[in-house]
Amino acid sequence: MASLAGTLGVDRAGAYDALKAELGQSGAAVTDLLWQTYSPWKIWFVFAAIGLMSAVGLWIFARMARRWDDLNV
Protein backbone atom coordinates (compact mmCIF):
# COMPACT_ATOMS: atom_id res chain seq x y z
CA MET A 1 0.00 0.00 0.00
CA ALA A 2 1.43 3.34 -1.04
CA SER A 3 1.63 6.27 1.31
CA LEU A 4 -0.37 9.46 0.98
CA ALA A 5 2.72 11.41 0.05
CA GLY A 6 3.70 8.86 -2.58
CA THR A 7 0.24 8.66 -4.14
CA LEU A 8 -0.94 12.26 -4.06
CA GLY A 9 2.27 14.17 -3.53
CA VAL A 10 0.95 15.60 -0.25
CA ASP A 11 2.37 14.73 3.14
CA ARG A 12 0.09 14.12 6.11
CA ALA A 13 0.88 17.45 7.77
CA GLY A 14 0.06 19.41 4.61
CA ALA A 15 -3.06 17.48 3.61
CA TYR A 16 -5.47 19.82 5.40
CA ASP A 17 -3.90 22.91 3.86
CA ALA A 18 -3.92 21.26 0.43
CA LEU A 19 -7.64 20.43 0.83
CA LYS A 20 -8.40 24.05 1.83
CA ALA A 21 -6.53 25.31 -1.24
CA GLU A 22 -8.17 22.78 -3.58
CA LEU A 23 -11.70 23.53 -2.37
CA GLY A 24 -11.11 27.26 -1.96
CA GLN A 25 -12.84 27.25 1.41
CA SER A 26 -11.91 28.43 4.87
CA GLY A 27 -10.61 26.13 7.55
CA ALA A 28 -13.94 26.17 9.37
CA ALA A 29 -15.84 25.21 6.21
CA VAL A 30 -13.43 22.36 5.43
CA THR A 31 -13.65 21.11 9.01
CA ASP A 32 -17.46 21.19 8.84
CA LEU A 33 -17.38 19.34 5.51
CA LEU A 34 -15.13 16.61 6.92
CA TRP A 35 -17.19 16.41 10.12
CA GLN A 36 -20.47 15.98 8.20
CA THR A 37 -19.01 13.59 5.64
CA TYR A 38 -17.26 11.13 7.97
CA SER A 39 -19.17 11.62 11.27
CA PRO A 40 -16.19 11.03 13.58
CA TRP A 41 -18.37 11.60 16.66
CA LYS A 42 -20.08 8.24 16.13
CA ILE A 43 -17.02 6.37 17.45
CA TRP A 44 -17.97 7.57 20.95
CA PHE A 45 -21.14 5.46 20.78
CA VAL A 46 -18.91 2.40 20.37
CA PHE A 47 -16.74 3.43 23.33
CA ALA A 48 -19.81 4.13 25.46
CA ALA A 49 -21.36 0.75 24.57
CA ILE A 50 -18.15 -1.08 25.46
CA GLY A 51 -17.94 0.81 28.76
CA LEU A 52 -21.56 0.11 29.61
CA MET A 53 -21.22 -3.60 28.80
CA SER A 54 -18.05 -3.76 30.91
CA ALA A 55 -19.79 -2.11 33.86
CA VAL A 56 -22.75 -4.49 33.61
CA GLY A 57 -20.40 -7.45 33.31
CA LEU A 58 -18.47 -6.39 36.39
CA TRP A 59 -21.70 -5.90 38.32
CA ILE A 60 -22.89 -9.40 37.35
CA PHE A 61 -19.51 -10.87 38.25
CA ALA A 62 -19.54 -9.15 41.64
CA ARG A 63 -23.04 -10.49 42.36
CA MET A 64 -21.98 -14.03 41.40
CA ALA A 65 -18.67 -13.81 43.29
CA ARG A 66 -20.46 -13.15 46.58
CA ARG A 67 -21.65 -16.75 46.50
CA TRP A 68 -18.20 -18.26 45.99
CA ASP A 69 -16.72 -19.28 49.35
CA ASP A 70 -13.20 -19.81 48.04
CA LEU A 71 -12.93 -16.11 47.02
CA ASN A 72 -13.89 -14.82 50.48
CA VAL A 73 -10.53 -14.37 52.17
Amino acid at 62: A
Parts of the chain with a pLDDT under 70: 1-2, 4, 70-73
Q: Is the pTM of this model over 0.95?
A: no
Tell me, yes or no, whether 22 and 48 share the same domain. no
Report the distance separating Cα 67 and Cα 49, nearest Å. 28
Tell me, yes or no, whether 3 and 24 share the same domain. yes
Report the distance separating Cα 40 and Cα 33, nearest Å. 12
Tell me, yes or no, whether 34 and 46 share the same domain. no
Which domain, by its residues, includes 65? Answer: 40-73
| Residue 66 confidence (pLDDT) | 82
Tell me, yes or no, whether 47 and 28 share the same domain. no
